Amino acid sequence: MSLPAHVKTANRKPVYAFVGNPNCGKSTLFNALTGLKQKVGNYPGVTVERKIGTAYSQHGQPMTVIDLPGAYSLAARSPDEAVTRDVLLGRRTDTEMPDRIVCIVDASNLERNLYLVHQILDLGRPIILVVNMMDLAIKAGLEIRVDQLEHQLGIPVIAAQAARGQGVIELKLAMSRQDLPLPRHRWDIPAEISSAVSEIQASLQNFDQKPPLIARAESLLLLTDQDPLRVSGSQPISPQTSKILQNWKTTWQKAGTDWAGTLVAARYDAIGKLTADSVRQVDTFVAQNTSDRIDAITTHGFWGWTVLGALMTALFLSIFTLAEYPMGLIEATVVALSDTVKGAMPPGDLRDLITDGAIAGVGGVVIFLPQILILFFFIGLLESTGYMARAAFIMDRLMGKVGLNGKSFIPLLSSYACAIPGIMATRTIEDPKDRLVTILVAPFMSCSARLPVYLLMIAALVPNGEVPLLTKVGLMLLMYALGTFGAFGFAWLFKRTLLKGDPPLMIMELPPYRMPKIKDVTLHMIERAGLFLKRAGTIILAISIVLWALTAYPKAGEDATAAEQIAQSYAGQAGKLIEPAIKPLGFNWEIGIGLISSFAAREVFVSSMSVVFNVEEDEEDTAPLREALQNSRWPDGRPLFTPLVCLTLMIFYVFAMQCISTVAIVKRETNSWKWPLFQIGYQTGFAWLLCLAVFQIGSALGY
């Protein structure tokens, strides 16, 4: 008998897939094997991270390695799992079907980990099994006989401890083998469902042109896929097959057959037989493990909140203190760069385009990079230690009140510093609807770019700028509270209307605590930041140039001041154009310019106001600008920045969607323009309505 075509790899680069449950140490092993030779991107059409790397065999031959997203089962419940399933089944046209599979399992809970392996064994492809985290198994008093597993499965089984680099060489040697054996895998499909499986298999072979083994594996999967989750990029099954499947399901439902349960139980029976010989509880008395002891504190009714509070305080303190220095450095670099260009080029539009458009615009966003990096690092740290799951566990009840689950907590919290890492962190939320709702409301959280605006407005409240500390703090807290309530309110609304779905589940593993691998966390942080710079950077550059052009053209004439120039520029015209819309909120066209320019980043409002009111911008001292604001008048002589207007403007900044980088990231994370546009519409619309109410009621009350 000759081997099937995909097994012969002598003449081409073999393609390996790394598969395993979440938290099994898969990525550590992948990083160890491929080093920095990785390509990280997205699977087209879905926001699931796609990691492909190159490893070298013992003989120096390159091998392609695909690090598939962590999955508990091939019966997918999240886009991540759907991608894993589809790649393994060769359903995706954008990714080569792997010809060999490396399954990684966590030795300390072998049975559950083997469930996925058992499904993969059905595929009939050469498999290498890596039993990782052997140290944890020993600590749990388990003895795992790798030779027994090898003997029973007929495939190479490698004991490993990837975090310490153990087993990596052995895996590499196994991967270098030309003659990787096919697994010995016999298990009896339960009688109640076996005829259905054969019928669906036949249909998949005939109508969907699937090879026999894949067809069998798929037919088994279709029975446990309750709501077959289809993701973009995967081929749907033929109508004939789905009809047969539906007929069987109807029959079973009538007869009261628990088809899916039977199938799962049969797999666990088979796994039980496998582990009966290979796993032994050698130490029957196992003390409460370290993780349980830590959990007794971190999920405690009092200490749990204390730990969470302390961690979050540490996060925000480090963002605002540690980031300060590199932010100053970036700012200085931007200024220096801009000065160099100014010195090297003759004055003119091109020079201004480069300095005031490109450099200033991109610089204004890049300045947030240190904060973003710290956030990514911190989120990565929380993820890799296992604390993230605990935070989700204790926050679940609160988040549940608005229809979300605990996993939305960290993304929303991160958004207080910057919505971008927050939105990118929503990938851990399995349910696509919950994830979308979290993305939609995340920008309500007052990010650090709003701070300069709040501070300026608070300073402009009273003539001498000496706002009592209590008022200052109170107003700041009010802004944060407004954003938070807005986020939760809209989450509640969306979960009931637009994105109505089942109540989210909280079926989540609490992985054992681990020492974080700083290398992996750093790598992850750099990847994320790189993605942000690449995707948002191009859009930011384009928008910055457009915004610059709007303020620079048409020309006012040679000796016009900057204020005169901006007043008659397109931006000024646009400000005047939108004045009728913002006048009911108490804003004039000059503020309108600020609102428009805030699309680059909210804190640009401050510099726009400096230009508009012709004040030399000074970071250290906002007093001149404050005075200019206080002296500004409507044409009829009424003061422009009354306390009420300042407050209304702050509220507008809480709710309106004004950040182009966020728009770019939402576009990327939702894969369409629909949601970012919706977000701009609903957030800004709501901001307008709320400000209208505040200003009109306030005016009526005589403020």
Partner 1 sequence: MAESISLSALTVGASAVVKSFPINGTAFIRLREMGLLPGTRITLMRAAPMGDPLEIKVRGYNLTLRKTETDHITVEPLQEK
Binding stretches for partner 1 (CB under 8 A): 72-73, 75, 77, 108-112, 115, 140, 142, 224, 226-227, 256, 258, 260-261, 264-265, 268, 291-292, 295-296, 299-301, 304-305, 389, 393-394, 396-398, 400, 406, 502-503, 505-511
Q: Length of the chain, please? A: 703
Cβ of residue 584: shortest distance to partner 1, in angstroms? 43
Question: How far is Cα 66 from Cα 53, in angstroms, rounded to an integer?
Answer: 6
Q: Rounded CA gap, 632 and 550, in Å?
A: 23
Is cis: bond before 554, omega within 30 of 0? yes
Least distance in angstroms from the C-beta of 221 to partner 1: 11
**Closer residue to partner 1, CB minimum distance, 42 or 299:** 299
Nearer to partner 1, 244 or 391 (CB): 391
Instruction: Give Cβ neighbours of residue 376 (< 8 Å, ≥ 6 apart).
Output: 421, 424, 524, 525, 528, 529
CB 156 within 8 A of CB 150: yes
Of 145 and 472, which CB lies nearer to partner 1 in the complex structure?
A: 145
Nearer to partner 1 (CB atom), residue 394 or residue 543: 394
- Smallest distance from partner 1 to CB 431, Å: 10
Residue type, 168: V
* Residue 267 beta carbon to partner 1: minimum distance, rounded to whole angstroms: 9
Q: Would you say 371 and 319 are in contact if contact means Cβ atoms under 8 Å apart?
A: yes
State the nearest-atom distance from the C-beta of 224 to partner 1, in Å: 6
Q: How far is the CB of 363 from partner 1 (least distance, A)?
A: 44
C-beta of residue 128 within 8 angstroms of C-beta of residue 17: no
Smallest distance, Å, CB 511 to partner 1? 8
- Closest Cα to residue 613, out of 593, 624, 598, 628? 628
The first and second tokens of residue 498, run together, are: 């637009």
Give the residue with the Cβ less far from partner 1, 106 or 352: 106
Question: Based on CB atoms, which residue is closest to partner 1, 502 or 558?
Answer: 502
Candidates 133, 170, 137, 115; CA nearest to 26 is: 133
Closest CA to 660 of 681, 676, 674: 676
CB of residue 21 to partner 1, shortest distance in Å: 9
Task: Name which of 75 and 556 has its Cβ closer to partner 1.
Answer: 75
Distance, in Å, from the CA atom of 218 to the CA atom of 200, rounded to the nearest integer, reads 9
Minimum Å gap between C-beta 402 and partner 1 is 14
Q: Which is nearer to partner 1, 40 or 140 (CB)?
A: 140
Q: Which amino acid is at 418?
A: C
Residues 6+ apart with CB under 8 A from 102: 16, 17, 18, 19, 127, 128, 130, 171, 175
Q: Kindly state the smallest distance separating residue 45's Cβ from partner 1, in Å.
A: 23
3-class DSSP assignment, residue 650: helix
Q: How many CA atoms lie within 13 A of 386 on its CB side?
A: 19
Q: Which is nearer to partner 1, 396 or 669 (CB)?
A: 396
Q: Which is nearer to partner 1, 243 or 300 (CB)?
A: 300
Q: What number of other Cβ atoms are within 10 A of residue 471's Cβ?
A: 12
Query: For the range 31-39, what are the long-range contacts, defined as Cβ-Cβ under 8 Å and sequence gap of 24 or more?
Result: 31/519, 31/520, 31/523, 32/162, 32/165, 32/168, 33/65, 33/168, 33/171, 33/172, 34/65
Residue 570 in tokens: 């397109």
Closest to partner 1 by CB, 263 or 649:
263
- The torsion angles phi and psi of 532, rounded to 5 degrees, stand at -65, -45
The pair of three-digit structure tokens given for residue 536, joined into one six-digit string: 């948002």
Q: Based on CB atoms, which residue is closest to partner 1, 298 or 565?
A: 298
C-alpha–C-alpha distance, residues 335 and 329, integer Å:
10
DSSP-derived 3-state class of residue 35: coil
Q: Rounded CA gap, 585 and 693, in Å?
A: 8
R_g of the chain, CA atoms, integer Å: 30
Nearest to partner 1 of 223, 479 (CB atom):
223
Residues 6+ apart with CB under 8 A from 558: none
CB of 269 vs partner 1, minimal distance in Å: 9
CB of 265 to partner 1, least distance (A): 6
The residue (of 115 and 248) whose beta carbon lies closer to partner 1 is 115
In the complex, minimum distance from the CB of residue 508 to partner 1, in angstroms, rounded to a whole number: 5
The distance of closest approach from Cβ of residue 110 to partner 1 in the complex, given in angstroms and rounded to an integer, is 8
Residues 6+ apart with CB under 8 A from 342: 351, 355
Smallest gap from Cβ 160 to partner 1, in A, equals 18
Closer to partner 1 by CB, 45 or 190: give it: 190
Contact 8, 182 (CB under 8 A): no
Closer residue to partner 1 in complex, CB, 188/502: 502
Cβ proximity to partner 1, 307 vs 366, nearer residue: 307
Least separation, in Å, of the C-beta of 428 and partner 1? 14
Q: Long-range contacts of range 624-627, CB-CB < 8 Å, 24 or more positions apart?
A: 625/456, 626/456, 626/459, 626/460, 626/465
**Token representation of residue 34:** 């491929």
- Spatial neighbors of 431 by CB under 8 A, at least 6 apart, are 78, 405, 501, 504, 505
How far apart CA 80 and CA 78 sit, in angstroms, is 5
- Find, among 471, 483, 473, 481, the residue nearest to 643 by Cα: 471
**Torsion angles phi and psi, residue 523, rounded to 5:** -60, -45
* Residue 674: CB minimum distance to partner 1, A: 26
